[in-house]
């Protein structure tokens, strides 16, 4: 199973949204969700959290997942298990990941995260 997440934030008012793309046996499942207003880095963590909540709600615990993010701070924080600035968000994300059988986190270039990015952009317009 593959999970792609991305966040979009409007700089002038910090409105944020998440794009979540789950690929299960070749089938794509697309989700977009309004997030609390925040800066982009916080929104990336919140998008990852929303992605894992959606994954666990849809497929239950004990799934194995490749998690892809274009946020270096999310990928590095997960790898280290530490973040000074985003400790609360990281703890929530790691708790969700612990419910999975296996999680392999991979940073990818923004250009390789197009599906989740488009969904996040669409999510910004959900609260219009």
Enumerate the domain spans of the chain: 2-123
Q: Which residues of 76-108 are buried (b: 16+ CB within 10 A; e: fewer)?
A: ebbeeeebeebeebbebbeebbeebeebebebe
Question: Does the global pTM surpass 0.85?
Answer: yes
Containing 79, the helix (H) or strand (E) segment is helix 72-80
pLDDT at 11: 87
* Residues 6+ positions from 112 with CB-CB distance below 8 Å: 68, 70
Do 117 and 19 form a contact (C-beta atoms < 8 A)?
Answer: yes
What number of residues does the chain have? 128
pLDDT at 126: 84
- CATH class label, 2-123: alpha beta
In the chain (128 residues long), the average pLDDT of successive 10-residue segments reads 97 94 96 96 98 97 96 98 97 98 97 96 84
Phi, psi of 49 (to 5 degrees): -60, -45
């Amino acid at each position: 199973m593959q999970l792609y997440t991305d966040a979009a934030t409007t700089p002038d008012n910090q409105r944020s949204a998440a794009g979540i793309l789950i690929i299960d046996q070749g089938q794509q499942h697309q989700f977009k969700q309004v997030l609390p207003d925040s800066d982009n880095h916080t929104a990336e963590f919140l998008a990852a959290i929303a992605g894992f909540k959606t994954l666990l709600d849809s497929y239950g615990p004990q799934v194995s997942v490749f998690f892809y993010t274009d946020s270096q701070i999310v990928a590095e924080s997960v790898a280290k298990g530490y973040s000074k600035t985003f400790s609360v968000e990281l703890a929530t994300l790691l708790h969700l990941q612990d419910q999975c059988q296996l999680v392999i986190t991979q940073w990818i270039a923004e250009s390789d995260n197009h599906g989740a990015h488009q969904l996040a952009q669409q999510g910004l317009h959900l609260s219009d």
